[in-house]
Structure 1
Amino acid sequence: MPQAASQSIDTIQALFLALIQGITEFLPISSSAHLALVPLLTSWPDQGLAFDCVVHLGSLTAVVFYFREDLARMASGFAVTVKQRSISADRDGYLAWMIGFATIPVGLFGLTFKDMIETDFRSLTVIGTTSIIFGLLLWLADTEDKNTKTETSWGFRDVMIVGFAQAIALIPGTSRSGITMTAALMMGYGREAAARFSFLLSIPVIVLAGSVKIKDWIEQPDQAAGVVELLVGYGVSAISAYLCIHYFIKYLQRIGMGPFVIYRVMLGAVLLWMVY
């Protein structure tokens, strides 16, 4: 059970942590690896569960707003599939079903192994190692020559593979966006198709993770962050996450995954160096 923070955070800490959350939530570089560095490089107090909740809400706001037109079509299409009792009755409705199916593994794994993930796996050794290993896997997947599948190619088998890959991302340092894009690229999907599906898939996952944090906060509320810090956290997280999604998709075809792989390997090496 998380412990209530004994100190209050300030605006600078709120801004910095929200920026980390907003950027690393969607880039394939692992948010947990970056957050692990914060207590090592600063003397900041724990930000508390309330702050964690609002920055996740900021990230959720960003991805929902960015994909608002897609989500509206998916909601309308989902209603069509329900009415006609066929998930293939509407293309956008079909995608909504695929997102739902792909979310099942992370929900089951998260509930089953929550305590183990929050304790045994949160070491710098694990985070540094997974950052490097899954970074190299991303590089390998991005060098494939058969990345020609588009968003219309998603089938049940493919989305479940991505879904189980996402469940592995519960291990800190793996990167949810990184491993889901890796799985999609390895199955032959293009970079943009892999990224868009990963971002859409993040919506129910952020909702699930946020719900767990809210539950924990209700059970043990904290006063680590004041109203100003919470507002800063929400705003900075939402804006940085939106810009991150926009420019990542815009420049992905041009830059590829190489820069993120190099960054991950260097970050993992730093974390392991700090341990040994």
Structure 2
Amino acid sequence: MPMICICSPQGGSGRSSLAVNLAGAYAHRGNKVLLIDLNVQNSLLLHFNIGDGVVQGFVPNIGNEPDWTQYIHKVGTNLYLLPYGDATFQQHNHFEFLLHQDPALVVRGLEKLNLFPGLVVIVDMPSGPHMALRQIQPLVDMHIVMLQPDGISPALLSKLEDNRFLDMPLNKNGSQYYVLNQTDSRYEMSHDIEIYFKQTLSDRLLGNIHRDSSVSAALTSQKQLREYRPSSAALFDIDSIEQKISALLDITVGENGAMLKLTGNRP
């Protein structure tokens, strides 16, 4: 069960868009994929034309059900989603409190996923050094850090590489991978930052995603990018990134192992 965690120290870096469209790339080639939304915005649902409150998520029910997999929903062909849920302010704060009080909360909530060894799991994290990011570390095979080609990204890269983001290694294997989002070679800073990242990270820079208005338009239409505009430049970049991830994690096309069976609510 390869688990890929998409995170960033920057807000608005494009984590959710990459998570959804990377999942779509795997589903398109025949792999079963589970998206896990650990972000209070609960926004992954919107990419599948599902509104807040239509299906249940794990956070509003966290006091009643320790097994979060009860709230997995099928959202498309080969695609499954564990939503954060339409949580109230009090429910969100209770979840944050439990994360700080119970260091095994995330591992215990997701432990039944081990029953599905062929499932590709993609986790969308909130921005910043979140406690859930520390807790999920033992489960994650690859961390992908999203950064933008702006003036702050070299300083953030230094902090991440020196393990000062979480005061511990981000990945259990000792290193993380990066994606530069919204690159545009027409702008000097974007061009220079891209060159700097390539020189600094070498193969740990999985690629860059070009600035593409189709990405935001697809979200507005509540569709995946592959469905909205299959010829988009950003989708080409994401498919290229998927191929590199698959090679690194030895993910085989269409290899699913045990089938995922839903016991929770469905849309």
TM-score normalised by L of structure 1: 0.23
Flag the structure with more relative contact order, 1 or 2, with Cα contacts below 8 A and sequence separation at least 6. 1
**Bigger-Rg structure (1/2):** 1
**Which structure has the highest helix share of the two?**
1
Structure whose residues are more often strand by fraction: 2
